[in-house]
Structure 1
Amino acid sequence: MSRQAKDDFLRHYTVSDPRTHPKGYTEYKVTAQFISKKDPEDVKEVVVWKRYSDFHKLHGDLAYTHRNLFRRLEEFPAFPRAQVFGRFEASVIEERRKGAEDLLRFTVHIPALNNSPQLKEFFRGGEVTRPSEASRDLHILPPPLIPTPLPTPPGSSLTSDLWQ
């Protein structure tokens, strides 16, 4: 894929739905959405589940790249510190979720970061969907069948038939 083709997409990242993994750590649902600038109906989503340590490593890798770009116009986002105690508290989980989302959103307007091998590796193996295709398929389904009421014989009522 050419460099120009990579810039033909708007990128949007969300980090949501923290959950406790059976092995005892918290993981977060990470959704990357790629929207074609030429055809806004062309949307691709990649969903992966990542833990704090994955984000911490990505933060270090991208911070190193950013430093080497000598970009002084924007400050690289800080990331929550690792901690052993209290890491399952709701406030810590939310702080980590927000820090992870801020990190991903920071990369959007910096090509060296959003096209970096580290970011691509972070999303490798994720579930890829095209939401626009799914919604297109819904439009071709026939309308649901609506049952019509049966005519009641003259002289009877629905309630009297039910009680007999």
Structure 2
Amino acid sequence: MASMGKDDDLRSFDVPEIARHSGGYTIYKIVLLVTPKEITENSYQIIYWKRYTDIKKLYDTLNRYHQAIYRPGKFPNFPEKSGYMERFNPAIIEERRVATRNFLNFALQYLYLRTHDAYINFFQKGEKVFSPDVNTDTLKPESVIPQSSPISIPEEVPIPVQSTIIDEKQNELLLNVDEEQPNIDHTSTRILDDLSDLKFDQNDEEQNAIQAEPLDLLSTSTKSHDSS
């Protein structure tokens, strides 16, 4: 017998389809969906194939029990038994399918109904299968943590080394010029002073030459006159 799960598990019934049995009657696929509250456990299904006659018998038993113990709440309605020729009518089959799903989900809500012997015996044989969208392996922590989109890191912009060196050299030259400017001014001043001194020296020599020339001429002239 496949386990129907613990009481704290999330469970629900569905009747997704029908089939024709080899004996000529219609059978209904009843699926119990079980979702454990523990994240490390996997969801699964228990599948039962039941004839409508057996479903109606369970319904009658639990309905009488519900009324006998005076439980509140209205028991869901169920289709009346149809004629032999109507059992394959698509509308009748659909009505029975929906009624079966509603009835089983109602009974699932109440402990006194789902622990009844008729209920337990009805679900003795079932096929347990894992849900197709759930991995059968134990969930791992990284499988439930959403991954953020990768952050794109921009490529580093190459640094223009050469231009930086040139700029530094230019700045160094400018700095040197600025620092040496007082020396240039001082040197220029010294040169100008030397030129001025040289000019004055030349002027003095010329003046001395001019002054000396008449004296020499006068002396020559005097010597010439005395000799005559």
TM-score (norm: length of structure 1)? 0.71
Amino acid at match of 2:76: P
Q: Which runs of 5+ in 2 are unaligned?
A: 140-228
Deviation at 1:99, TM superposition (A): 0.8
1:10-51 Cα distance to aligned partner (Å, 9 max, x none):
211011211111211010110012222344853232101011
TM-score (norm: length of structure 2)? 0.53
Distance (Å, rounded) in 1 between the aligned partners of 2:113 and 2:129? 23
Counterpart residue number, 2:77: 78
* Contact 1:15–1:28 (Cα < 8 Å) also in 2: yes
Q: Which runs of 5+ in 1 are unaligned?
A: 140-164
Greater relative contact order structure (CA < 8 Å, 6+ sep): 1
Q: 1:126 and 1:109, CA in 2 relative to 1: closer, same or farther beyond 3 A?
A: same
Deviation at 1:64, TM superposition (A): 2.0
Percent sequence identity is: 32
Distance (Å, rounded) in 1 between the aligned partners of 2:13 and 2:107? 10
Counterpart residue number, 1:59: 59
Deviation at 1:78, TM superposition (A): 1.3
1:110-136 Cα distance to aligned partner (Å, 9 max, x none):
111123222221121111123379624
* Root-mean-square deviation (Å): 2.4
Structure number with greater Rg is: 2
Distance (Å, rounded) in 1 between the aligned partners of 2:68 and 2:36? 29
Counting helix residues as a fraction of each chain, which structure ranks higher?
2
* Contact 1:41–1:132 (Cα < 8 Å) also in 2: no
Q: 1:16 and 1:10, CA in 2 relative to 1: closer, same or farther beyond 3 A?
A: same
Of 114-123 and 86-95, the range deviating more from structure 2: 114-123
Deviation beyond 6 Å, 4+ runs, structure 1: none
Q: 1:38 and 1:134, CA in 2 relative to 1: closer, same or farther beyond 3 A?
A: closer
* Contact 2:42–2:134 (Cα < 8 Å) also in 1: no
